[in-house]
Structure 1
Amino acid sequence: MTDSGRTVSNWNVPNALTTLRIVMVPFFGWALLHDGGQDLTWRWVAWALFAVAMLTDKIDGDLARKHDLVTDFGKIADPIADKAMTGMALIGLAIIADFLPAWLWWTVTVVVLVREWGVTAARLSVAREVVMPAKQSGKVKTTMQVVALGGFVAPFGLLEGGLETIGDALWWLSAAALLVAVVLTLTSGWEFARDVVRHRAGRPTTAERQAQD
């Protein structure tokens, strides 16, 4: 149901793309972990699946807003699809433990997943009462997270010969992006939790105060 009162069918292109992303998750995980993550061909396949998933995430959101095709199914399924794909990437990379030690990968994975799923659950719990808009820090966090995970899913550091130096440099850049993403994960998560507490207490959130100014 939209704000205009007309009923929007769940059978639409944005929801189909969201469902496709969910279906892609196990195939992405299998490709990433094939042969212990050491098979260059399957790592590139995994990277391609990850890239397609991130691209369809952008497309389905734009289509839903442009053509007024926002549905309750989409509101619930879209963040689940996003978190499932990025979660699979983090868990898979922690298992493979390329470039960074396994303990560091698992620490990053736990911190990011606890924050992401916690924020998603909280956002859905207050969705009928107030829309908690994504902050700029959250948007930058998502971008850096996608860049970092995409960089590590691709087997840059496994390249040999003349491409070895370039591959290692790309993984160092991915590590820098991952560091920024983790920092923003914590800070934006704290900001969101603060706004939820304010809303529960009947006080205006940061976005609501800015709208009043």
Structure 2
Amino acid sequence: MTDVAPDPAATPPQSVKVVNLPNALTVLRLALVPVFAVLLVQDGAQDHANRYWATLVFGLAIITDRYDGLIARRTGQVTEFGKLADPIADKALTGTALIGLSVLALLPWWVTAVILVREVGVTLLRFWVIRHGVIAASRGGKAKTVVQSLAIGLYILPLTGALATTRWWVMAAAVVLTVLSGLDYVYRAITLRQTSARAMRAAAARRTAGPSTGTRTDTAA
């Protein structure tokens, strides 16, 4: 089984309407980001009611993240807008949560930095290999997303005592998965650029052309 998945929108059987349920869920997630941010930082996170509401909004946004891509692939409603907006919405939600928690001194800045650097790096790698193919999410990447979302949710909640300790270990696991899945993505991106059909055609063309001698024979009399 290969880790490289074909792009479902690369050769669409027919035009797909931009206004559809998957894209609506993505737009909803984007719209929830500022609402979540206000609830999280309002009153310096001292109001526990606001933090519970922030957790609820964050959870709702995560649910839309789970289903927009799933519905789009299963119903053939993948669009260029969705391919662009979905990762933007994901990064906006996660980045806002992490930065907000660090600003409130609830989460160390180094944790936020590690996760955001990984996410930005993976996005840049996607652009680097886009002409060669699309790398499917690995088990590690999916596990990272689940554990990371759970950890962020636990940090948003006003927990104390043993539960507050538990969330630290969950976040530690999220950081480990973030780093390992990021390294795996780098390896698979490099492999894809070397073994894709495009790379094979380029290699074959170079072999056919042969080495250049840098000389030219003029047979004109």
**TM-score with structure 2 length normalisation?**
0.80
Matched residues in 1 for 2:125 and 2:14: separation? 27
Instruction: Give the structure, 1 or 2, with the largest relative contact order (CA under 8 Å, sep 6 or more).
Output: 2
- Matched with 2:204 is none
Cα pair 1:2 1:68 within 8 Å, conserved: no
1:5 aligned counterpart, secondary structure: coil
Picking from 77, 80, 83, the partner of 1:75 is 83
Cα pair 1:2 1:70 within 8 Å, conserved: no
Deviations 1:38-60 (A, max 9, x none): 11111111111100000111121
2:134 aligned counterpart, secondary structure: coil
Q: Which amino acid in the other structure matches residue 84 of structure 2? A: I
- Matched with 1:136 is 139
- Matched with 1:169 is 162
Matched residues in 2 for 1:169 and 1:3: separation? 52
Q: Which amino acid in the other structure matches residue 78 of structure 2? A: V
Greater helix proportion = 1
The answer to whether 1:39 aligns with 2:42 is no
1:6 aligned counterpart, secondary structure: coil
| Structure possessing the higher radius of gyration over alpha carbons | 2
* RMSD value, Cα: 1.6
Matched residues in 2 for 1:59 and 1:172: separation? 31
Deviations 1:155-204 (A, max 9, x none): 123xxxxxxxxxx222222111110110111111111112212223x236
The answer to whether 1:192 aligns with 2:185 is yes
Identity of matched residues, %: 44
Matched residues in 2 for 1:125 and 1:74: separation? 19
Distance 1:2 1:193, change over 3 A: closer
Deviations 1:134-157 (A, max 9, x none): 111111111110110001111123
The answer to whether 1:178 aligns with 2:171 is yes
2:132 aligned counterpart, secondary structure: coil
- Matched with 2:74 is 66
Cα pair 2:33 2:93 within 8 Å, conserved: yes
**TM-score with structure 1 length normalisation?**
0.83
Q: Which amino acid in the other structure matches residue 25 of structure 1? A: V
Matched residues in 2 for 1:13 and 1:172: separation? 39
Deviations 1:69-104 (A, max 9, x none): 111111111111111101111001101123x5xxxx
2:13 aligned counterpart, secondary structure: coil
Any gaps of 5 or more consecutive residues in structure 2? Answer: 1-8, 197-221
